Amino acid sequence: MKALAFSIALLAGAGLAAAASAQPAPTPQPPNLIDMPGNTGKAHLTVTSAEVKSNTLIPLDNSSWGKSISPQVSWTKGPASTKSYAVAMEDADAHLPGGPPITHWLVFNIPASATSLPASLPPQGTATAPAGMVSANNIAKKTGYFGPKTPPKSTHHYHLQVLALDETVPLTDGASRDDFAKAIAGHVVGTGEVVGLYTGPDQAPASAAAK
């Protein structure tokens, strides 16, 4: 009798294991722009920023809990084939349902002669953007920079990325991140990034809750 019960338990356990293994594997999250297929293995750009530093907390003023001011960013020159640059900030720890990472900033058609962007670019800031620069929509469906709005008591990784392109992208202000990703396929010749952190406040400030 004990042997029969043991056999039944084994069969039940095997059934549960089979059912568990039959569950579909989670769908991989789409990668950040510089890690998309075709964009890896390109020339390396060294990216630095006065506000976004490796594994360091991004200042409050550059977050949406603060003033949402765009950070300064610099990079080393791309290959001789570079015709323009793009700069993006994406949250690697937050994705749209079944979609790409949360895009906080995406500007492109930065002239090939440029190797930096100043802090505080429009529309929030007062700095002057390079001639010809185009701004895609961010997660808030607005052009320009939208600072980290990490949930309270959470820490997310924010990838400040630079892509060197062998083209100027045929898109205008308000383009979507998806349209940009499609337009640069096969045109990325160099990439680089710096990854900063932001930790949400213990409690959302009342003044920021409406942003």
Both tokens of 26, joined, read 């989670």
* Cα dihedral sign, 70-55-33-96: negative
| CATH number reported for the structural domain that contains residue 85 in this entry | 3.90.280.10
73 Cβ neighbours under 8 A, 6+ residues apart: 47, 48, 49, 52, 87, 116, 117, 160, 162
Please report whether residue 201 resides in a domain.
yes
- Whether the Cβ atoms of residue 171 and residue 137 lie closer than 8 Å to each other: no
- Whether the Cβ atoms of residue 68 and residue 62 lie closer than 8 Å to each other: yes
- Please give the tally of structural domains in the chain: 1
* β-bridge pairing 47-48 and 43-44: unpaired
**Confidence bin at 207 (pLDDT 50/70/90):** low
pLDDT of residue 22: 55
Please report whether residue 51 resides in a domain.
yes
Read off the pTM: 0.85
* β-bridge pairing 155-165 and 134-135: unpaired
pLDDT of residue 33: 97
Instruction: Kindly state the average pLDDT of the residues 55-71.
Output: 96
* β-bridge pairing 47-48 and 116-117: unpaired
Please report whether residue 25 resides in a domain.
no
Instruction: Kindly state the average pLDDT of the residues 94-103.
Output: 89
Residue that wins the pLDDT comparison between 12 and 183: 183
pLDDT of residue 96: 84
Segment among 26-35, 76-85, 142-151 with least mean pLDDT: 26-35
pLDDT of residue 18: 43
Residue that wins the pLDDT comparison between 209 and 141: 141
Please report whether residue 7 resides in a domain.
no
Distance, CA of 43 to CA of 119 (rounded, Å): 25
pLDDT of residue 202: 83
Q: In which domain, by residue range, is 133 found? A: 30-209
Average pLDDT, rounded, for the chain: 88
Nearest to 85 by CA among 64, 66, 109: 109
Distance, CA of 211 to CA of 206 (rounded, Å): 10
Please report whether residue 188 resides in a domain.
yes
Element (H, E) at 63: none
pLDDT, tens digit, for every residue of 158-188? 999 999 999 999 999 999 999 999 999 999 9
